Amino acid sequence: MKLEIKDLWASIDGQMILKGVNLTVPAGEFHAIMGPNGNGKSTLVKVIAGAPEYTVERGEVLYDGQNVLEMEPDERARKGLYLAFQYPVEIPGVTVANFLRLAIQARTGQEVQFMEFYAKLQKALAILDWDESWVNRYLNQGFSGGEKKRNEILQMLMLEPGFALMDETDSGLDIDALKVVANGVNAMRSANFSALMITHYNRLLEFIVPDMVHIMVDGRIVKSGDKELAIELEANGYEPIKLIAAQHPAPDFNAAD
């Protein structure tokens, strides 16, 4: 599904973080956002998903033609937006399997037939090179960082969203875990699925090749390009991009009104 971000401004505790973000991710494409720490990357995906601690000051986020900023977070999820957390939470007492069944039921509004669910689960576990014992454990409890990230991708495979927001899914993963997670994400590729990936490192983009790479500095997109842009960043760092951004500072919010 297509996602359009139009002049998005957002703040937290009175501090403006997003300063007029404009970005379009067409249906079927994977885009990556890179940039220095503290410049709004994670804020962007959290605002799109509906994190309550942020205040949207101006702008629209159109998904399938509808402004999701007017929806509650659960409505956005049912609409087909999926957020893969940077730090997935643990839920003691709820098994992975039960969580997945309840999540699918909430997403579709229909009862989940056991045999259909089981067949789909087996296929997803095979893609992630996991055995069935994992889904009988409590959600993320006792999981390593890499196992939690793999479980995020399992949820995505089972829920089949139209758009995934991936907040540093590669954070803390060794190379083997990264390859497994990438296999899961790549298995989702289709004309009906798009993704926006937040990452600091080019290594993720070696396994999940993006259609476009965007650089965010000071709460806005300052440069976009193909995968070569990520390679350029790996070689030169962010200083040249920061200089460009400094020469063209973000507009004053009130002046932009």
- pLDDT number for residue 250: 81
3-state DSSP of the chain: CCEEEEEEEEEECCEEEEEEEEEEECCCCEEEEECCCCCCHHHHHHHHHCCCCCEEEEEEEEECCEEHHHCCHHHHHHHCEEEECCCCCCEEEEEHHHHHHHHHHHHHCCCCCHHHHHHHHHHHHHHCCCCHHHHHCEECCCCCHHHHHHHHHHHHHHHCCCEEEEECCCCCCCHHHHHHHHHHHHHCCECCEEEEEECCCHHHHHHCCCCEEEEEECCEEEEEECHHHHHHHHHHCCHHHHHHHHHCCCCCCCCCC
Q: Is 190 exposed, middle or buried (0-12, 13-18, 19+ CB in 10 A)?
A: exposed
Q: Provide the residue ranges of all domains of the chain, joining segments of one domain with +.
A: 3-86+162-247
Phi, psi for residue 234 in degrees, rounded to 5: -60, -35
Mean pLDDT by 10 residues, the chain (257 residues): 95 96 97 93 96 96 96 94 89 94 91 92 94 93 90 95 93 89 95 95 92 95 93 88 82 70
The CATH number that domain 3-86+162-247 falls under is 3.40.50.300
pTM over 0.85: yes
- pLDDT number for residue 60: 97
| Alpha-carbon dihedral sign for residues 185, 49, 13, 249 | positive
